[in-house]
Structure 1
Amino acid sequence: MTLAQLSLVTVCTGCVAEQPTSDSRENATSATPPNIIYILADDMGYGDLGSYGQRKTKTPNLDALAHQGMRFTQHYAGSTVCGPSRASLLTGLHTGHSPIRGNPAWTNSGTPVDLKPQDITIAEMLKDNGYKTAVIGKWGLSEAKEDNNAHLPAMPNQQGFDYFYGLKAHLDAHHYYWHRLFENNQPFVLEDNDYLNNEGVYIHDLFTDKALEYVAQQDAEQPFFLYLSYTIPHLALTVPEDSKQQYLDLGWPKREMDTQGHYRNDAEGNTTYAGMISRMDDDIGKLMQTLEQHGLANNTLVIFSSDNGHEYDRGFFDSNGALKGRKRDLYEGGIRVPFIARWPGKIAANSESDHVSAMWDMMSTFCDFAGAKQCPKNDGISMANTLLGDGKQLQHDYLYWEFNEREGPLQAIRHGDWKLVKRYNKPLELYNLAKDIGETNNIAKQHPDIVTQLAKQIEASRTPHPEFTLKKLPNPWKKKNKNNKS
């Protein structure tokens, strides 16, 4: 893209995009609205699946999903950590406009920010358009403590979901043997679970069982939306021994893990990491079988993605592929994620797309597929035309991210093949992703005019938020526990 083309981009101060008009609405709603299952992994890298180049960890069911559907090579998470990424998914807003722009306590006041009643979610939109809605697994967007009247703000049932089973808060999801879960707004305790010693019921298995049960209860009369929010492969690294068996005795180097810190990891990391991903893959295979058994597969759109880049790998698994960075970076390794979509007879099998898309596109896309008469204002563009094979796909003018934790405020913007990264108290970095996907060559000095234009767009891409200003924040966990992670 030339500088002349770049200059045509409108700098929109504090704007939130209206639903764009296109042929996608007509194309997407020409048949019965599909069931939608959106499966989200936690901290899975772009290169952690066989269909994205992984050579060590086995993911046959997700690879089959890619073979049966469309694999995207330029899809982006809402953020580089889980809380704001999930908020972006649910609201259709990027982190310059989202109500949640950081993980809990990384705010000006040190107080977590939750969703509010006025924050319209995908679930609310779909429910208004005749869908049954459910979230199973990690919610992580309701940090406020229950009061004496057991009032539970920002819970899934208050944000458009008919059914919820899983983990309420962010830190609960750091443990695979956590003892306190919720079914709808009712907490319950797994008496035999001991998260400090990784004993009891592996709660990932409970999420899978509930998802299979939920799907088996559905029929063709009313469409459903299931947001299956897994916690694999987020730390802590732990998995039942049966999932490690295929990776033992392969001569892999051993990686010793901390077993007594905040994260109660298993002693050896590599076989555990691979085993966790393979266990999730097996369970997604069970989910696909359940759809087939109950006659739901042909009219169900199944999507798989990750909430941000990997955290665990140090090179053995090549979790990034060719990408630079990881979780908590705004380089590609922190925000570019796998995205697979399958809808038999609608999405071409064994297809691939390089369409530049983001998690906040789901609101507009699902509006189209649901036949919504009015879509909430959002920052997304419907991907329906790409998914259905129509060449008239609208493109983003830009994608924007911001993030603020230990390294200070970070911002990034992608426009066409250009990407500008702004780090706290560091020189601006400019990359051409078409020529340098690994972001190894900062060409800011060679293209000062492009840097100027993109820097202006970065400043114009966010609305003020009293809790998320771009200043250096103190570490809120340092005084509580030196081992706590965000």
Structure 2
Amino acid sequence: MGITLLSCLGVLPLFGFAHANPTIDSLIKKRKSLPNIIFIMADDLGYGDIGFNGQQKIKTPHIDQLAQEGMVMTQHYAGSSVCAPSRASLMTGVNVAHAHVRELSAWTASGKAIDLAAEDVTVAQELKRVGYSTGIIGKWGLEEGAGTGNVLDHGFDYFYGYKTHTEAHHYYPEYIWKNREKLQLPDNESASKKGEYSNDAFTREALAFIQKNSKKPFFLYLPYTIPHNELTVPDESKAPYENLGWPKKPMDVSGHYHHDPEGNTTYAGMISRLDSYIGQLMQELKTQGIDDNTLVIFTSDNGPGSDKGIFNSTGGLRGRKLTLYEGGIREPFAARWPNKIKPGSTSDQPAAFWDLLPTLCDIAGIKPSVKTDGISYLPTLLNQVKNQKKHDLLYWEINESQGPIQAIRLGDWKGINAYQKPFELYNLKVDPKESKNLALSNPGVVAKIKQMMISYRTENPEFPLTKRTPNYGNDGSNPETIKSK
């Protein structure tokens, strides 16, 4: 990449002529006025797991306050209903119809690991064009071993956390990554829950990042791993939820995790601990005197994967993680930006993860350097709804053990094409819980959406619409092409 005027911004003053050029003057002035941006993302947190979306059992006062002091978007969607493709979409502004990463590495056709591609441009790279310091603390999940996904090669100045999604499955890890260094944590022991809880460490690092960068514009991406499996949390976070008469049993979990024995109190405690982190972060912004110039966004990467009823984690929406019903992809979303976003405001404007990159570029006063599938929702945040562009459609796909599924939202219509199942069509305006399939009575809409599922999507040899078995070290087997219905 060639050296640009903006990339030289920090060097020019040393030569004594920075202010001789009005263009440089305006760039310096603009840089000083840029807001800080903190994007906080939970992991497997459901639409209904947060108080501002109706949660009754789990207490989230700090997140609720963030929402009260800003805007709640009620129809904000993840990039996918599973980890890696959702995060890739968030970072690149490209949805899974066109993305390099469309599934976890276990589901590639070749059996090879899949990383963010070298040519993928992230929101961090875009913001660095105008002088932002950039950091990610938490779960990256886009470097699985292909050699192209290192976070420091994709626009981030600082990294502390997990590279891969499987590393992030344990809360007392025996090592953590700091930039390119693998830090051993000899006091930690995953199985016995000894040492420092990883998300506590992420918060400590995030506070330090804010302190270090408080005098210049920064972008902090903070992808926590709560409340993803494994279900474990320090005892003090469970204490408020003990002896409440909840069922004392493990939650719906499996795999290589070291779960705490009582899943319900643990799940609630994890979310409340996450809430406490948000409280610490918001207080630090005030302490540093940068609260008024910081945009804070809170959301989740996909639907819930553990709760099956006691907490109503989906907020009554159908489906969960790994499905393309609303419960799998519609996420809690709150944004706070003092003197910019009206406190207590709500928007039902549909938006998605791939809108973040153009939105933050819009805030920074630049255009994306690459083509994206996204639309800036800055007009919505600023209550300038007349200026808000709208999507022609929203697209998702997922292909794990259940076979390939595609979904398109077209206005209020949503079509779902699942492997060897009848086509489903719902009107989300009147039926957000997707309870009444209207496909048979609306053949024209069905035909239109089916055609879009073919024409809108670009082929990716690693992610064909075939039924596959997971690789887990082999090359997969017995693909079976999705059947048209």
What TM-score do you get using the length of structure 1 for normalisation?
0.89
User: What root-mean-square deviation, in Å, do the aligned CA atoms of Structure 1 and Structure 2 show?
Assistant: 1.7
Matches within 5 A, 1:253-272: 253-256=247-250, 261-272=255-266
Once the two structures are overlaid, the 10-residue window that deviates more, 173-182 or 369-378, is: 369-378
- 2:58 partner amino acid: T
Question: What are the residue-to-residue correspondences of 1:39-54 with 2, within 5 Å?
Answer: 39-54=40-55
Secondary structure of the corresponding residue to residue 107 of structure 2: coil
- After superposition, give the CA deviation of every residue in 1:63-101 in whole Å (9 maximum; x if it has no partner): 000000000100000000010000000000010011100
**Which residue matches 1:335?**
329
Q: Find the counterpart in structure 1 of residue 7 from structure 2.
A: none
The aligned amino acid for 2:68 is H
1:473 counterpart = 2:474: no
Residue among 417, 435, 444 paired with 2:439 = 444
| Alignment match, 1:16 | none
Residue 175 (structure 2) pairs with residue 180 (structure 1): yes
Aligned to 2:6: none
CA deviations 1:423-466 (Å, max 9, x no partner) are 01111100001111111111100000100001111112211111
Look up the match of 1:276: 270
Deviation at 1:256, TM superposition (A): 2.5
8 Å CA contact 2:298, 2:333 repeated in 1: yes
Correspondent of 2:207 among 204, 207, 212: 212
The CA deviation string for residues 320-372 of structure 1, in whole angstroms up to 9 with x for no partner, is 11200000000000000011000000000011000000010001100100111
Task: Give the distance between the partners of 1:276 and 1:359, measured in 2 at CA.
Answer: 24
- The structural deviation recorded for 1:475 is 2.5
Instruction: Tell which deviates more after alignment, 374-383 or 63-72.
Output: 374-383
User: C-alpha distance in 1, partners of 2:67/2:251?
Assistant: 32
Say which SS state the counterpart of residue 265 (structure 1) adopts: coil
| 2:200 alignment partner AA | D
TM-score, length-scaled by structure 2: 0.89
For residues 251 and 273 of structure 1, what CA distance do their matches in structure 2 show?
15
In the alignment, the residues of structure 1 paired with residue 252 and residue 348 of structure 2 have an alpha-carbon distance, to the nearest angstrom, of 39
Aligned equivalents of 1:63, 1:259: Cα separation in 2: 28
Aligned length: 445
Does the Cα contact within 8 Å between 1:71 and 1:341 map onto a contact in 2? yes
| Residues 115-143 of structure 1: per-residue CA shift (max 9 Å, x gap) | 12211010100111211100000011111
Identity over aligned pairs, percent: 52
The alignment partner of 1:244 has SS state of: helix
Aligned residue among 231, 237, 251 for 1:243: 237
Residues 44, 233 of structure 1: 8 Å contact kept: yes
Give the equivalent residue in structure 2 for 1:139: 140
**Cα distance, 1:373–1:329 mapped onto 2, change above 3 Å:** closer
Q: Say if 2:170 and 2:230, in contact at 8 Å, map to a contact too.
A: yes
Find out whether 1:121 has 2:119 as its counterpart: no
Q: What is the rounded CA distance, in whole Å, between the counterparts of 1:394 and 1:259 in structure 2?
A: 41
CA distance in 1 between partners of 2:348 and 2:379 (Å): 13
* Range with greater deviation from structure 2 (256-265 or 62-71): 256-265
Matching of residues 55-454 of structure 1 within 5 Å? 55-144=56-145, 153-220=148-215, 222-256=216-250, 261-391=255-385, 392-454=387-449
1:148 corresponds to: none
Query: 2 CA distance for matches of 1:305 and 1:97?
Result: 23
Q: Is the 8 A contact 1:104 1:170 kept in 2?
A: no
Q: Which amino acid aligns with 2:245?
A: G
SS at the partner of 2:105?
Answer: coil
1: CA distance, partners of 2:51 / 2:117:
39
Query: Could you tell me how far apart the structure 1 residues matched to 2:464 and 2:76 are?
Result: 27
**Aligned counterparts of 2:250 and 2:288: Cα–Cα separation in 1:** 44
- The aligned counterpart of 1:15 is none
Distance 2:220 2:370 in 1: 20
Distance 1:292 1:238 in 2: 31
In the alignment, structure 1 residue 460 sits paired with structure 2 residue 455: yes
Contact persistence 1:325–1:334 (CA under 8 A): yes
Give the Cα separation in 1 of the matches to 2:112 and 2:308: 33
Could you say what secondary structure the match of 1:287 adopts? Answer: helix
Alpha-carbon distance in 2 for matches of 1:112, 1:261? 20
- CA apart distance, 1:478: 9.7
Contact 1:259 1:267 in 2 (8 A): no
**Structure 1 residue 257 displacement after superposition:** 5.2
Instruction: Give, in whole Å, the separation in 2 of the partners of 1:51 and 1:238.
Output: 24
**Match of 1:275, as an amino acid?**
G
Give me the whole-angstrom Cα distance separating, in 1, the residues matched to 2:117 and 2:470: 25
Alpha-carbon contact 1:257-1:265 (below 8 Å) kept: no
- The aligned amino acid for 2:413 is W
CA shift digits 1:276-331 (9 cap, x unpaired): 00001001100000000001110110000000000111110001112000000000
Pairwise CA distance, 1:194: 1.4
The one-letter code matched in structure 2 to 1:101 is R
SS at match of 1:187: strand
Structure 2 vs 1, CA of residues 345 and 263 (structure 1 numbering), >3 Å: closer, same or farther? same
Q: Distance in 2 between matches of 1:62 and 1:396?
A: 28
Q: Distance in 2 between matches of 1:32 and 1:347?
A: 17
Structure 2 unaligned residues grouped into runs of 5+:
1-29, 476-485
CA contact (8 A) 1:112 1:143 kept: yes
Partner of 1:9: none
Q: Which amino acid aligns with 2:398?
A: F
SS of corresponding position for 1:105? helix
Distance in 1 between residues matched to 2:424 and 2:214, nearest whole Å: 52
